[in-house]
Chain A
Amino acid sequence: MSDDNDSEFEAETATLPLDGWHRGKGARMVEFAGYWMPVQYEGIVAEHLWTRAHAGLFDVSHMGQLEVSGEAAEAALEAVLPIDLSTLKPGRQRYSLLLDESGGVLDDLMVTNAAHRFYLVVNGATKWDDIAHLREHLPDEITLTHLEDDALLALQGPEAARALARLGLDPVNDGWPRVEEMVFMQAGPFSWNGVPLRVSRSGYTGEDGYEISVPAARVETLAEALCAQPEVQPIGLGARDSLRLEAGLPLYGHDLSREISPIEAGLTFGINKRRRGEGGFAGADRIQRELAEGTARKSVGLTLEGRLPAREGAEVYAGDAKVGRVTSGGFSPTLGHPIAMAIVDSAHSAEGTPLVVDVRGKRLSAAVAPMPFVPHNYFRGDR
């Protein structure tokens, strides 16, 4: 097929339910994952620092929301994900990975036990491939529903709980915690002025906060109500990326891909311990081998001297020898210097190892640093 024919099938950039709301708030819109999305409102640094100090509202409706149901849904999902669902109680959420047969990462995702069904949130750029993969690999008697009529908001920051509590969401299930009582990775159905919401205490910034699924028809009302709280400002994709980088959270398609295994990426925790031993999931051979023998390369954090950021693709050296490449990088607004994630030869992956990053011929001094770069601030019920 020629390129010309291909372009005929290229989908037009879609708009999110909040498109007009974003533009009304002065957002600069960019194309991302097939959608017009707000990259910034006031400015990336201001939005980033606001989220670390207060609470930021992110529109992440481009992400895929899926529901898996059916009598044998648990076993069917365990056949496609290296997860142990027998220990995932109703109202709890867990991080997992969609792997191909050779152990490459097709996507990373969140799985919630929504009582008699499982609720999945997958990346926006990969959702159509994920859906195709799941339809192919899940048995016919399992129902996979793409919740296309639901929008998704993230409210993130140390003041997120205070702001959300003020909206007065009611837990649908008797005896379930209120939003401010939920702990990290807890999730459940709520009702807000009659609007059904799915709320989880999780996110992608390293801060305390929530992800809130809401019918698209009501998302603007909810976004307005949240932004009416003095703690809350709308935050764009630009700050979402710099926040997640500081939090040491990988971005699919950059720090994680079919070419990088979860063990190389340091995501062993995304593969359940029992399943690691038993195998019986896609890519298990490679995962088990890498766990037993170690990997030739590893994902690491890098801190760079000076102010010049190293971006994805920049080559990493130990002396004159090339030992890896940057998978994502940028300037850390919180720390005031550049940071990066890189995949490097394991021999050079120990904390404190001095390395050099080449940016347009400039050799920048760097050192392997522990991640997260900025400490996580999750609410685990102990404060």
Chain B
Amino acid sequence: MPRYFTDEHEWIDVEGDTATVGITDYAQGQLGDIVFVELPRVGSEVARGKDAAVVESVKAASDVYAPITGEVTEANGALEDDPALVNSSPEDQGWFFKLTIANKSELDGLMDAAAYKSFCDSL
């Protein structure tokens, strides 16, 4: 299944009409120790580029934007008990939410792993 990346340091796994969204290893490293993740409600609509989640580190609260538009179908309940999963397994067990993709054309122009890596190297 293809994985896409945004310049806001989110990753998106696409499987048919469903996408799984999380933040990248680079992002968790920048945020530091994560103590709480506020996830969107199941059934809510998130819009590309708009607030979808909030990550609280020891230091500060940071918004996470929805990389694409869609309806949230599942939120990662494991983060409630163990928000540090975002630090230890950001691109696997620390996923944030799943959504039904509203408009597949929004995936155009997102980065693949190689492009994202060189994007991070340039920062």
Contacts and interface: CB of A to CB of B under 8 A. Distances in A.
B58 A333 contact: yes
A337 to B, nearest CB: 9
Given A45-B33, A238-B32, A311 B58 contact: no
* Most chain A Cβ neighbours within 10 Å, of B32, B60, B61: B32
Nearest to B59: A238
A360 B54 contact: yes
A39 interface: yes
B36 A307 contact: yes
Contacts of B32: 40, 43-45, 238
A311 B60 contact: yes
A129 to B, nearest CB: 26
A301 interface: no
Contacts of A39: 59
* Most chain B Cβ neighbours within 10 Å, of A40, A242, A330, A331: A331
A360 B56 CA distance: 12
B75 interface: no
Chain A interface residue bracket vs B: 20 to 34
B19 to A, nearest CB: 24
Contacts of A238: 32, 58-59
A17 interface: no
B112 to A, nearest CB: 28
B94 to A, nearest CB: 15
A308 B58 CA distance: 10
A276 B107 CA distance: 68
A238 B61 CA distance: 14
Interface string A321-345: 0000000001101000010000000
Interface in A33-79: 39-40, 43-46, 48
A69 B46 CA distance: 63
A241 B60 CA distance: 12
A308 B33 CA distance: 13
Given A44-B32, A45-B33, A360-B38, A311 B59 contact: no
Nearest to A39: B59
Contacts of B83: 307
A309 interface: yes
Contact of B56 (A43, A48, A242, A309): A309
Contacts of B58: 44-45, 48, 238, 242, 330-331, 333
A45 B57 CA distance: 10
Contacts of A309: 35-36, 56, 61
Nearest to A239: B58
Contacts of A330: 58-59
B76 to A, nearest CB: 15
Given A45-B58, A238-B58, A331 B35 contact: yes
Nearest to A44: B58
Q: Which 9 A-B pairs have the closest CB atoms?
A: A45-B33, A331-B35, A44-B58, A307-B36, A308-B36, A238-B59, A331-B58, A44-B32, A309-B56
15 contacts: A43-B33, A44-B33, A44-B59, A238-B59, A241-B59, A242-B58, A307-B35, A307-B83, A308-B36, A308-B56, A311-B60, A311-B61, A331-B35, A331-B56, A331-B58
Given A40-B32, A44-B33, A331-B58, 20 more contacts: A39-B59, A40-B59, A44-B32, A44-B57, A44-B58, A45-B32, A45-B33, A238-B32, A241-B59, A307-B35, A307-B36, A308-B38, A309-B36, A311-B60, A311-B61, A331-B56, A333-B33, A333-B58, A360-B54, A362-B38
